A and B are shown apart, each in its own frame.
Chain A
Amino acid sequence: MSAETGIEKRFFFKRRTWILLLSLVLFLPPLSLLFQFTQDSSFCGSWCPRMFFVWRRGETAGTLLFGMARSYMGVALVLGAVASTFFLGRFWCSHVCPVGGVSELGSWLIPAAFKLRLDSVPAASVRYGYLAAYLLLPALGLGSLCCGYCNFATVPRLFGAPFSDADMAFFFRSAGVVNLGLLVGLGFLTKGGRGYCNLLCPVGALDALSSCFGERFGRRVRVDEECCSGCGRCRDECPVWAIDVDKKAGIDQLSCIPCGMCAKVCPEHAIGYGLKTKTAEERVPAVPSYALTGQNGKDLAA
Protein backbone atom coordinates (compact mmCIF):
# COMPACT_ATOMS: atom_id res chain seq x y z
CA MET A 1 0.00 0.00 0.00
CA SER A 2 1.33 3.38 -0.79
CA ALA A 3 0.69 6.99 -0.18
CA GLU A 4 -0.04 7.64 -3.84
CA THR A 5 1.51 10.61 -5.57
CA GLY A 6 1.80 11.37 -9.27
CA ILE A 7 5.41 10.52 -10.08
CA GLU A 8 5.28 12.04 -13.53
CA LYS A 9 4.56 15.49 -12.06
CA ARG A 10 7.42 15.49 -9.58
CA PHE A 11 10.47 17.51 -10.57
CA PHE A 12 13.01 14.82 -9.74
CA PHE A 13 11.30 12.24 -11.91
CA LYS A 14 10.36 14.61 -14.71
CA ARG A 15 13.85 16.05 -15.04
CA ARG A 16 15.94 12.94 -14.34
CA THR A 17 17.80 13.01 -17.66
CA TRP A 18 18.84 16.61 -17.13
CA ILE A 19 19.96 15.86 -13.58
CA LEU A 20 22.07 12.97 -14.87
CA LEU A 21 23.64 15.21 -17.50
CA LEU A 22 24.42 17.81 -14.83
CA SER A 23 26.08 15.09 -12.79
CA LEU A 24 28.31 14.23 -15.77
CA VAL A 25 29.45 17.84 -15.91
CA LEU A 26 30.15 17.88 -12.17
CA PHE A 27 32.03 14.58 -11.99
CA LEU A 28 33.47 13.73 -15.40
CA PRO A 29 36.11 15.19 -17.72
CA PRO A 30 36.67 17.45 -19.44
CA LEU A 31 35.28 19.81 -16.78
CA SER A 32 35.05 17.64 -13.63
CA LEU A 33 33.83 20.71 -11.79
CA LEU A 34 33.66 19.18 -8.32
CA PHE A 35 37.17 17.78 -8.60
CA GLN A 36 38.60 21.21 -9.38
CA PHE A 37 38.38 22.03 -5.67
CA THR A 38 40.37 19.01 -4.49
CA GLN A 39 43.77 17.69 -5.41
CA ASP A 40 42.52 14.51 -7.03
CA SER A 41 41.09 15.02 -10.47
CA SER A 42 39.06 11.81 -10.59
CA PHE A 43 37.35 9.28 -8.31
CA CYS A 44 40.78 7.94 -7.30
CA GLY A 45 42.52 9.16 -4.12
CA SER A 46 40.43 11.34 -1.84
CA TRP A 47 37.25 10.72 -3.84
CA CYS A 48 37.55 6.92 -3.98
CA PRO A 49 34.17 5.51 -2.87
CA ARG A 50 35.14 1.85 -3.07
CA MET A 51 38.28 1.08 -1.11
CA PHE A 52 37.86 2.63 2.32
CA PHE A 53 35.44 -0.04 3.63
CA VAL A 54 37.66 -2.94 2.59
CA TRP A 55 39.91 -4.44 5.23
CA ARG A 56 43.04 -6.18 4.00
CA ARG A 57 44.80 -8.98 5.80
CA GLY A 58 47.46 -7.61 8.12
CA GLU A 59 45.97 -4.14 8.13
CA THR A 60 45.65 -2.50 11.53
CA ALA A 61 42.68 -0.43 12.66
CA GLY A 62 44.92 2.61 12.42
CA THR A 63 45.76 1.91 8.78
CA LEU A 64 42.10 1.36 7.98
CA LEU A 65 41.20 4.69 9.59
CA PHE A 66 44.07 6.38 7.77
CA GLY A 67 42.68 5.01 4.52
CA MET A 68 39.28 6.45 5.41
CA ALA A 69 40.82 9.82 6.19
CA ARG A 70 42.68 9.75 2.88
CA SER A 71 39.43 9.01 1.00
CA TYR A 72 37.44 11.57 2.97
CA MET A 73 35.37 12.75 0.00
CA GLY A 74 34.56 9.16 -0.98
CA VAL A 75 33.52 8.40 2.60
CA ALA A 76 31.25 11.45 2.64
CA LEU A 77 29.79 10.47 -0.72
CA VAL A 78 28.99 6.89 0.28
CA LEU A 79 27.68 7.76 3.75
CA GLY A 80 25.55 10.53 2.25
CA ALA A 81 24.20 8.16 -0.40
CA VAL A 82 23.42 5.39 2.09
CA ALA A 83 21.75 7.76 4.60
CA SER A 84 19.64 9.51 1.97
CA THR A 85 18.66 6.16 0.50
CA PHE A 86 17.36 4.96 3.86
CA PHE A 87 14.81 7.76 3.92
CA LEU A 88 14.25 8.68 0.29
CA GLY A 89 15.24 5.69 -1.86
CA ARG A 90 18.23 5.20 -4.13
CA PHE A 91 18.39 8.62 -5.73
CA TRP A 92 22.19 8.48 -5.72
CA CYS A 93 22.07 5.54 -8.12
CA SER A 94 19.16 6.70 -10.27
CA HIS A 95 19.86 10.43 -10.50
CA VAL A 96 23.37 11.38 -9.34
CA CYS A 97 25.93 8.62 -9.93
CA PRO A 98 27.80 9.63 -13.11
CA VAL A 99 29.03 6.08 -13.66
CA GLY A 100 25.54 4.58 -13.74
CA GLY A 101 24.33 7.64 -15.61
CA VAL A 102 26.84 7.18 -18.42
CA SER A 103 26.05 3.50 -18.68
CA GLU A 104 22.30 4.19 -18.88
CA LEU A 105 22.49 7.20 -21.19
CA GLY A 106 24.95 5.33 -23.41
CA SER A 107 22.53 2.42 -23.71
CA TRP A 108 19.88 4.78 -25.07
CA LEU A 109 22.08 5.28 -28.10
CA ILE A 110 22.18 1.55 -28.92
CA PRO A 111 19.32 0.11 -31.01
CA ALA A 112 17.10 -2.26 -29.04
CA ALA A 113 17.88 -5.13 -31.42
CA PHE A 114 21.51 -5.24 -30.17
CA LYS A 115 20.69 -5.21 -26.47
CA LEU A 116 20.95 -8.05 -24.02
CA ARG A 117 18.17 -8.84 -21.58
CA LEU A 118 19.39 -9.90 -18.17
CA ASP A 119 15.95 -10.36 -16.60
CA SER A 120 16.50 -14.04 -15.97
CA VAL A 121 19.60 -13.37 -13.85
CA PRO A 122 18.75 -13.06 -10.13
CA ALA A 123 20.46 -9.70 -9.66
CA ALA A 124 20.61 -9.68 -5.87
CA SER A 125 22.32 -13.09 -5.77
CA VAL A 126 25.05 -12.03 -8.19
CA ARG A 127 25.43 -8.61 -6.56
CA TYR A 128 25.91 -9.98 -3.07
CA GLY A 129 28.07 -12.86 -4.28
CA TYR A 130 30.30 -10.22 -5.82
CA LEU A 131 30.15 -8.04 -2.68
CA ALA A 132 30.99 -11.03 -0.48
CA ALA A 133 34.07 -11.72 -2.60
CA TYR A 134 34.88 -8.02 -2.74
CA LEU A 135 35.03 -7.86 1.07
CA LEU A 136 36.34 -11.32 1.93
CA LEU A 137 39.14 -11.89 -0.58
CA PRO A 138 41.31 -8.96 0.61
CA ALA A 139 40.60 -9.96 4.23
CA LEU A 140 41.86 -13.46 3.48
CA GLY A 141 44.79 -12.15 1.44
CA LEU A 142 43.58 -13.89 -1.73
CA GLY A 143 43.38 -10.90 -4.06
CA SER A 144 41.39 -7.76 -4.60
CA LEU A 145 38.63 -6.48 -6.85
CA CYS A 146 39.05 -2.87 -5.68
CA CYS A 147 41.19 -1.14 -8.31
CA GLY A 148 41.53 -3.85 -10.93
CA TYR A 149 37.83 -3.87 -11.80
CA CYS A 150 36.61 -0.39 -10.99
CA ASN A 151 33.72 1.29 -12.75
CA PHE A 152 34.57 4.58 -11.01
CA ALA A 153 38.02 4.48 -12.65
CA THR A 154 36.89 3.39 -16.10
CA VAL A 155 34.11 5.87 -16.88
CA PRO A 156 35.98 9.10 -16.03
CA ARG A 157 38.98 7.91 -18.02
CA LEU A 158 36.77 7.07 -20.97
CA PHE A 159 35.69 10.71 -20.98
CA GLY A 160 39.21 12.00 -20.32
CA ALA A 161 40.99 9.82 -22.90
CA PRO A 162 40.38 12.12 -25.90
CA PHE A 163 42.01 14.99 -23.98
CA SER A 164 44.61 13.40 -21.69
CA ASP A 165 47.44 10.95 -22.38
CA ALA A 166 47.34 9.80 -18.76
CA ASP A 167 43.67 8.84 -19.12
CA MET A 168 44.34 7.21 -22.47
CA ALA A 169 47.10 5.11 -20.87
CA PHE A 170 44.44 3.47 -18.69
CA PHE A 171 43.19 1.62 -21.79
CA PHE A 172 46.66 0.53 -22.99
CA ARG A 173 46.53 -2.32 -20.48
CA SER A 174 44.68 -5.64 -20.50
CA ALA A 175 42.90 -4.59 -17.30
CA GLY A 176 41.74 -1.37 -18.97
CA VAL A 177 40.39 -3.28 -21.95
CA VAL A 178 38.56 -5.72 -19.67
CA ASN A 179 37.04 -2.84 -17.69
CA LEU A 180 35.92 -1.20 -20.90
CA GLY A 181 34.44 -4.52 -22.03
CA LEU A 182 32.47 -4.81 -18.79
CA LEU A 183 31.15 -1.28 -19.17
CA VAL A 184 30.12 -1.85 -22.78
CA GLY A 185 28.83 -5.41 -22.33
CA LEU A 186 26.99 -4.96 -19.05
CA GLY A 187 26.20 -1.27 -19.48
CA PHE A 188 25.71 0.09 -22.96
CA LEU A 189 24.57 -3.20 -24.45
CA THR A 190 22.02 -4.20 -21.83
CA LYS A 191 18.38 -3.27 -21.85
CA GLY A 192 18.07 -0.29 -19.54
CA GLY A 193 21.86 0.12 -19.36
CA ARG A 194 22.09 -0.76 -15.69
CA GLY A 195 23.52 -4.27 -15.82
CA TYR A 196 26.89 -3.20 -14.41
CA CYS A 197 25.22 -1.18 -11.62
CA ASN A 198 22.85 -3.96 -10.74
CA LEU A 199 25.39 -6.76 -10.69
CA LEU A 200 28.91 -5.50 -10.10
CA CYS A 201 28.86 -2.20 -8.22
CA PRO A 202 29.85 -2.55 -4.55
CA VAL A 203 28.65 0.96 -3.72
CA GLY A 204 25.29 0.15 -5.31
CA ALA A 205 25.17 -3.09 -3.31
CA LEU A 206 25.60 -1.19 -0.01
CA ASP A 207 23.08 1.40 -1.13
CA ALA A 208 20.58 -1.33 -1.99
CA LEU A 209 20.91 -2.79 1.51
CA SER A 210 20.06 0.62 2.96
CA SER A 211 17.05 0.80 0.62
CA CYS A 212 15.86 -2.60 1.78
CA PHE A 213 16.31 -1.91 5.51
CA GLY A 214 14.65 1.50 5.28
CA GLU A 215 11.73 0.32 3.21
CA ARG A 216 9.27 0.48 6.13
CA PHE A 217 10.29 3.97 7.18
CA GLY A 218 11.24 5.83 4.05
CA ARG A 219 9.77 6.93 0.76
CA ARG A 220 9.95 4.45 -2.07
CA VAL A 221 8.43 3.74 -5.44
CA ARG A 222 5.45 1.52 -4.60
CA VAL A 223 2.57 -0.23 -6.30
CA ASP A 224 -1.03 0.35 -5.28
CA GLU A 225 -2.30 -3.20 -5.53
CA GLU A 226 -5.92 -2.10 -5.64
CA CYS A 227 -5.31 -0.20 -8.88
CA CYS A 228 -2.77 -2.57 -10.49
CA SER A 229 -4.19 -4.67 -13.32
CA GLY A 230 -1.09 -6.86 -13.60
CA CYS A 231 -0.47 -5.95 -17.25
CA GLY A 232 3.32 -6.18 -16.83
CA ARG A 233 4.28 -3.06 -18.76
CA CYS A 234 6.19 -1.75 -15.74
CA ARG A 235 8.24 -4.96 -15.64
CA ASP A 236 9.22 -4.56 -19.29
CA GLU A 237 10.32 -0.99 -18.71
CA CYS A 238 12.33 -1.46 -15.49
CA PRO A 239 16.09 -0.99 -16.17
CA VAL A 240 17.10 -3.02 -13.11
CA TRP A 241 14.56 -5.82 -13.53
CA ALA A 242 13.24 -5.14 -10.01
CA ILE A 243 9.57 -5.73 -10.81
CA ASP A 244 7.89 -9.08 -10.76
CA VAL A 245 4.29 -9.49 -11.88
CA ASP A 246 2.24 -12.39 -10.70
CA LYS A 247 -1.36 -11.24 -10.55
CA LYS A 248 -0.20 -7.83 -9.38
CA ALA A 249 3.11 -6.07 -9.78
CA GLY A 250 5.57 -6.19 -6.89
CA ILE A 251 8.73 -4.10 -6.55
CA ASP A 252 11.91 -5.56 -5.05
CA GLN A 253 13.34 -2.70 -3.00
CA LEU A 254 16.69 -4.47 -2.95
CA SER A 255 17.09 -3.67 -6.63
CA CYS A 256 14.74 -0.74 -7.34
CA ILE A 257 16.25 2.62 -8.23
CA PRO A 258 13.62 5.38 -8.24
CA CYS A 259 13.93 6.23 -11.90
CA GLY A 260 10.15 6.39 -12.25
CA MET A 261 10.11 4.69 -15.64
CA CYS A 262 7.62 2.09 -14.43
CA ALA A 263 5.19 4.79 -13.28
CA LYS A 264 5.39 6.58 -16.60
CA VAL A 265 4.15 3.55 -18.53
CA CYS A 266 1.53 2.36 -16.04
CA PRO A 267 -1.88 2.70 -17.71
CA GLU A 268 -3.66 2.47 -14.34
CA HIS A 269 -1.47 5.06 -12.59
CA ALA A 270 -0.98 2.41 -9.93
CA ILE A 271 2.67 3.23 -9.24
CA GLY A 272 3.60 6.11 -6.99
CA TYR A 273 6.35 7.39 -4.76
CA GLY A 274 5.76 7.78 -1.06
CA LEU A 275 5.72 6.36 2.42
CA LYS A 276 4.41 2.98 3.24
CA THR A 277 0.94 3.34 4.71
CA LYS A 278 -0.42 0.73 7.04
CA THR A 279 -2.62 -2.06 5.80
CA ALA A 280 -6.14 -2.23 7.25
CA GLU A 281 -5.06 -4.93 9.63
CA GLU A 282 -2.13 -2.88 10.88
CA ARG A 283 -4.32 0.23 11.24
CA VAL A 284 -6.55 -1.40 13.91
CA PRO A 285 -4.93 -0.51 17.20
CA ALA A 286 -4.24 -3.25 19.65
CA VAL A 287 -7.37 -3.66 21.81
CA PRO A 288 -6.65 -3.01 25.47
CA SER A 289 -7.67 -5.66 27.91
CA TYR A 290 -11.25 -5.15 29.02
CA ALA A 291 -11.67 -3.30 32.30
CA LEU A 292 -14.41 -1.41 34.03
CA THR A 293 -13.14 1.20 36.39
CA GLY A 294 -15.01 3.68 38.52
CA GLN A 295 -14.17 7.35 38.90
CA ASN A 296 -11.85 6.59 41.74
CA GLY A 297 -10.00 4.07 39.60
CA LYS A 298 -11.50 1.11 41.35
CA ASP A 299 -12.02 -1.98 39.23
CA LEU A 300 -15.80 -2.43 39.07
CA ALA A 301 -15.58 -5.87 37.50
CA ALA A 302 -13.76 -7.26 40.46
Chain B
Amino acid sequence: MKAKSILFFLLAVAASFFAASYRWGDSAHSIGLIKASGGTARHASVLASGEGTYTLIATAAVIPPYRGDARVVLEGEPRIDHAIYLSGPVVDLGLRRNPKLRDNVIHGLQPRDRIALWVVMKPPMTDPVCGAPYRDGFFGVSHEGRDYVFCCRRCAQAFSLDPERYWNNIGVRGRYQLAFYDTKTNRPVLSVPVEFQGKEKAGDECGDRH
Protein backbone atom coordinates (compact mmCIF):
# COMPACT_ATOMS: atom_id res chain seq x y z
CA MET B 1 0.00 0.00 0.00
CA LYS B 2 2.82 2.33 0.92
CA ALA B 3 4.65 1.57 -2.32
CA LYS B 4 1.46 2.25 -4.29
CA SER B 5 1.00 5.60 -2.53
CA ILE B 6 4.59 6.61 -3.24
CA LEU B 7 4.23 5.56 -6.87
CA PHE B 8 1.06 7.62 -7.33
CA PHE B 9 2.67 10.59 -5.58
CA LEU B 10 5.62 10.48 -7.97
CA LEU B 11 3.34 10.01 -10.98
CA ALA B 12 1.29 13.03 -9.91
CA VAL B 13 4.44 15.14 -9.55
CA ALA B 14 5.71 14.03 -12.96
CA ALA B 15 2.38 14.63 -14.72
CA SER B 16 2.04 18.02 -13.04
CA PHE B 17 5.56 18.96 -14.08
CA PHE B 18 4.75 18.12 -17.69
CA ALA B 19 1.46 20.04 -17.55
CA ALA B 20 3.04 23.08 -15.92
CA SER B 21 5.97 23.34 -18.30
CA TYR B 22 3.96 22.68 -21.48
CA ARG B 23 3.15 25.89 -23.32
CA TRP B 24 0.01 26.08 -25.41
CA GLY B 25 0.85 27.84 -28.66
CA ASP B 26 -2.63 29.19 -29.33
CA SER B 27 -3.12 31.36 -26.27
CA ALA B 28 -1.19 33.75 -24.08
CA HIS B 29 -1.83 35.96 -21.09
CA SER B 30 -0.43 39.44 -20.69
CA ILE B 31 -0.42 41.58 -17.57
CA GLY B 32 -0.02 45.31 -18.03
CA LEU B 33 -0.50 48.76 -16.58
CA ILE B 34 -2.57 51.50 -18.17
CA LYS B 35 -0.78 54.80 -17.56
CA ALA B 36 -1.25 58.33 -18.87
CA SER B 37 2.46 58.41 -19.68
CA GLY B 38 2.29 55.09 -21.56
CA GLY B 39 2.11 51.77 -19.77
CA THR B 40 3.70 48.49 -20.75
CA ALA B 41 3.05 44.79 -20.35
CA ARG B 42 5.17 42.73 -17.99
CA HIS B 43 6.41 40.60 -20.90
CA ALA B 44 5.72 39.93 -24.57
CA SER B 45 2.96 37.46 -25.35
CA VAL B 46 4.43 34.66 -27.45
CA LEU B 47 2.25 32.57 -29.76
CA ALA B 48 3.20 29.68 -32.04
CA SER B 49 2.80 30.39 -35.74
CA GLY B 50 0.60 28.10 -37.82
CA GLU B 51 -2.52 27.81 -35.63
CA GLY B 52 -5.95 28.69 -36.99
CA THR B 53 -7.23 30.75 -34.06
CA TYR B 54 -5.47 32.46 -31.18
CA THR B 55 -6.66 33.94 -27.94
CA LEU B 56 -4.82 36.65 -26.07
CA ILE B 57 -6.00 37.44 -22.56
CA ALA B 58 -4.88 40.97 -21.80
CA THR B 59 -5.37 42.01 -18.20
CA ALA B 60 -4.46 45.50 -17.04
CA ALA B 61 -4.78 47.78 -14.06
CA VAL B 62 -5.35 51.52 -14.41
CA ILE B 63 -2.69 53.56 -12.63
CA PRO B 64 -3.77 56.93 -11.18
CA PRO B 65 -4.25 59.62 -12.29
CA TYR B 66 -5.31 58.18 -15.67
CA ARG B 67 -8.99 58.24 -16.44
CA GLY B 68 -10.72 58.27 -19.79
CA ASP B 69 -11.66 56.11 -22.73
CA ALA B 70 -9.15 53.91 -24.54
CA ARG B 71 -9.33 52.62 -28.09
CA VAL B 72 -7.85 49.12 -28.52
CA VAL B 73 -6.05 48.32 -31.77
CA LEU B 74 -4.18 45.23 -32.94
CA GLU B 75 -1.28 46.65 -34.95
CA GLY B 76 0.97 44.77 -37.35
CA GLU B 77 1.21 43.39 -40.87
CA PRO B 78 -0.37 41.42 -42.41
CA ARG B 79 -3.64 42.45 -40.81
CA ILE B 80 -5.23 39.85 -38.55
CA ASP B 81 -8.98 39.44 -38.28
CA HIS B 82 -9.82 39.75 -34.62
CA ALA B 83 -12.60 40.32 -32.13
CA ILE B 84 -12.20 41.95 -28.72
CA TYR B 85 -14.37 41.13 -25.71
CA LEU B 86 -14.30 42.63 -22.24
CA SER B 87 -14.97 40.45 -19.20
CA GLY B 88 -17.80 41.71 -17.07
CA PRO B 89 -20.87 40.59 -15.22
CA VAL B 90 -23.31 38.68 -17.43
CA VAL B 91 -26.21 40.33 -15.64
CA ASP B 92 -25.18 43.76 -14.39
CA LEU B 93 -27.36 44.73 -11.44
CA GLY B 94 -25.73 48.17 -11.39
CA LEU B 95 -24.39 47.78 -7.86
CA ARG B 96 -20.95 48.80 -9.02
CA ARG B 97 -19.56 50.82 -11.92
CA ASN B 98 -17.84 48.77 -14.61
CA PRO B 99 -15.96 49.99 -17.71
CA LYS B 100 -17.79 49.08 -20.90
CA LEU B 101 -16.48 48.06 -24.34
CA ARG B 102 -18.17 49.45 -27.44
CA ASP B 103 -16.67 49.37 -30.94
CA ASN B 104 -13.27 48.41 -29.52
CA VAL B 105 -13.25 51.44 -27.20
CA ILE B 106 -13.19 50.87 -23.44
CA HIS B 107 -15.37 53.57 -21.92
CA GLY B 108 -15.11 54.94 -18.40
CA LEU B 109 -11.69 53.81 -17.23
CA GLN B 110 -10.89 55.17 -13.79
CA PRO B 111 -7.91 54.88 -11.45
CA ARG B 112 -7.48 51.41 -9.92
CA ASP B 113 -9.89 49.77 -12.38
CA ARG B 114 -8.86 46.31 -13.52
CA ILE B 115 -9.87 45.02 -16.92
CA ALA B 116 -9.61 41.68 -18.70
CA LEU B 117 -9.83 41.70 -22.49
CA TRP B 118 -10.17 38.57 -24.58
CA VAL B 119 -8.74 39.08 -28.05
CA VAL B 120 -9.64 36.26 -30.44
CA MET B 121 -7.43 36.42 -33.54
CA LYS B 122 -7.74 34.65 -36.88
CA PRO B 123 -4.60 35.33 -38.94
CA PRO B 124 -4.64 34.87 -42.71
CA MET B 125 -2.92 31.90 -44.32
CA THR B 126 0.41 32.78 -45.87
CA ASP B 127 2.44 31.51 -48.78
CA PRO B 128 4.85 29.05 -47.10
CA VAL B 129 7.73 30.04 -49.39
CA CYS B 130 7.69 33.84 -49.50
CA GLY B 131 5.43 34.52 -46.50
CA ALA B 132 2.93 36.68 -48.40
CA PRO B 133 -0.53 36.77 -46.77
CA TYR B 134 -3.41 35.25 -48.71
CA ARG B 135 -5.34 37.51 -51.09
CA ASP B 136 -7.29 37.21 -54.32
CA GLY B 137 -5.26 35.57 -57.07
CA PHE B 138 -3.55 33.03 -54.82
CA PHE B 139 -4.07 29.41 -55.69
CA GLY B 140 -4.34 26.42 -53.38
CA VAL B 141 -2.46 23.13 -53.35
CA SER B 142 -3.07 20.17 -51.08
CA HIS B 143 -0.04 18.28 -49.84
CA GLU B 144 -0.31 15.23 -47.55
CA GLY B 145 -3.78 16.23 -46.43
CA ARG B 146 -2.87 19.83 -45.66
CA ASP B 147 -3.87 22.90 -47.68
CA TYR B 148 -1.31 25.49 -48.76
CA VAL B 149 -1.72 28.73 -50.69
CA PHE B 150 0.79 30.21 -53.16
CA CYS B 151 1.12 33.62 -54.71
CA CYS B 152 2.81 32.37 -57.89
CA ARG B 153 3.99 29.28 -59.74
CA ARG B 154 7.58 29.89 -58.68
CA CYS B 155 6.66 29.57 -55.00
CA ALA B 156 4.60 26.44 -55.68
CA GLN B 157 7.52 24.93 -57.54
CA ALA B 158 9.98 25.76 -54.75
CA PHE B 159 7.59 24.09 -52.31
CA SER B 160 7.18 20.95 -54.41
CA LEU B 161 10.98 20.58 -54.71
CA ASP B 162 11.53 20.80 -50.96
CA PRO B 163 8.27 20.45 -48.99
CA GLU B 164 10.14 19.45 -45.82
CA ARG B 165 11.63 22.91 -45.69
CA TYR B 166 8.38 24.81 -46.01
CA TRP B 167 5.60 22.55 -44.71
CA ASN B 168 5.17 24.39 -41.41
CA ASN B 169 5.32 27.92 -42.79
CA ILE B 170 1.62 28.56 -43.19
CA GLY B 171 0.99 31.14 -40.47
CA VAL B 172 1.92 34.74 -39.83
CA ARG B 173 5.18 35.49 -38.07
CA GLY B 174 6.74 38.42 -36.37
CA ARG B 175 5.78 41.15 -33.96
CA TYR B 176 2.34 42.65 -33.45
CA GLN B 177 1.14 44.99 -30.80
CA LEU B 178 -2.11 45.33 -28.91
CA ALA B 179 -2.13 49.07 -28.38
CA PHE B 180 -4.44 51.13 -26.17
CA TYR B 181 -4.82 54.79 -27.18
CA ASP B 182 -6.52 57.46 -25.14
CA THR B 183 -9.37 58.68 -27.32
CA LYS B 184 -8.91 62.36 -26.39
CA THR B 185 -5.16 62.77 -26.73
CA ASN B 186 -4.54 59.80 -29.07
CA ARG B 187 -1.50 58.97 -26.95
CA PRO B 188 -0.70 55.32 -26.14
CA VAL B 189 -1.60 54.35 -22.59
CA LEU B 190 -0.64 50.67 -22.88
CA SER B 191 1.30 48.57 -25.39
CA VAL B 192 1.22 44.78 -25.29
CA PRO B 193 3.78 43.12 -27.60
CA VAL B 194 2.46 39.98 -29.30
CA GLU B 195 4.92 37.73 -31.05
CA PHE B 196 4.10 34.94 -33.51
CA GLN B 197 7.03 32.56 -33.53
CA GLY B 198 7.58 29.79 -36.09
CA LYS B 199 9.91 26.86 -36.18
CA GLU B 200 11.40 27.98 -39.48
CA LYS B 201 11.72 31.27 -41.22
CA ALA B 202 9.51 32.11 -44.14
CA GLY B 203 10.38 34.93 -46.48
CA ASP B 204 12.39 33.43 -49.32
CA GLU B 205 12.39 35.72 -52.32
CA CYS B 206 9.89 34.69 -55.00
CA GLY B 207 10.42 37.61 -57.33
CA ASP B 208 6.88 38.87 -57.06
CA ARG B 209 6.17 42.21 -55.44
CA HIS B 210 3.76 41.88 -52.55
Contacts and interface: CB of A to CB of B under 8 A. Distances in A.
A37 B96 contact: yes
Interface in A116-146: 121-122, 124-130, 132-134, 137, 142-145
A39 B85 contact: no
Interface residues of B, number: 42
B19 A173 contact: no
Nearest to A31: B91
Given A45-B114, A166-B118, A174 B26 contact: yes
Interface in A161-192: 163-167, 169-170, 172-176
Contact of A39 (B5, B24, B27, B113): B113
Contact of A128 (B9, B59, B93): B9
A169 B20 contact: no
Interface string B80-92: 0001011111111
B125 to A, nearest CB: 18
B11 interface: yes
Contact of A172 (B22, B55, B96, B113): B55
B90 A163 contact: yes
Interface in B35-62: 53, 55, 59
Contacts of B10: 129
Given A36-B96, A125-B5, A174-B24, A133 B88 contact: no
Interface string A8-46: 000000000000000000000111110111111110111
B65 to A, nearest CB: 18
A130 B8 CA distance: 10
A6 interface: no
B91 A129 contact: no
Contacts of B113: 39
A172 to B, nearest CB: 5
Contacts of A174: 24-27
A172 B9 contact: no
B157 interface: no
A122 B85 contact: no
A31 B12 CA distance: 36
A267 interface: no
A126 B173 CA distance: 40
B183 interface: no
B165 to A, nearest CB: 27
A121 B83 CA distance: 43
B16 A130 contact: yes
Contacts of A227: none
A126 B9 contact: yes
B184 interface: no
Interface of A: 29-33, 35-42, 44-46, 121-122, 124-130, 132-134, 137, 142-145, 147-149, 160, 163-167, 169-170, 172-176, 199
17 contacts: A32-B91, A36-B89, A39-B96, A41-B90, A125-B6, A126-B12, A129-B11, A133-B20, A142-B17, A143-B22, A160-B90, A163-B90, A164-B88, A165-B85, A166-B118, A167-B87, A172-B53
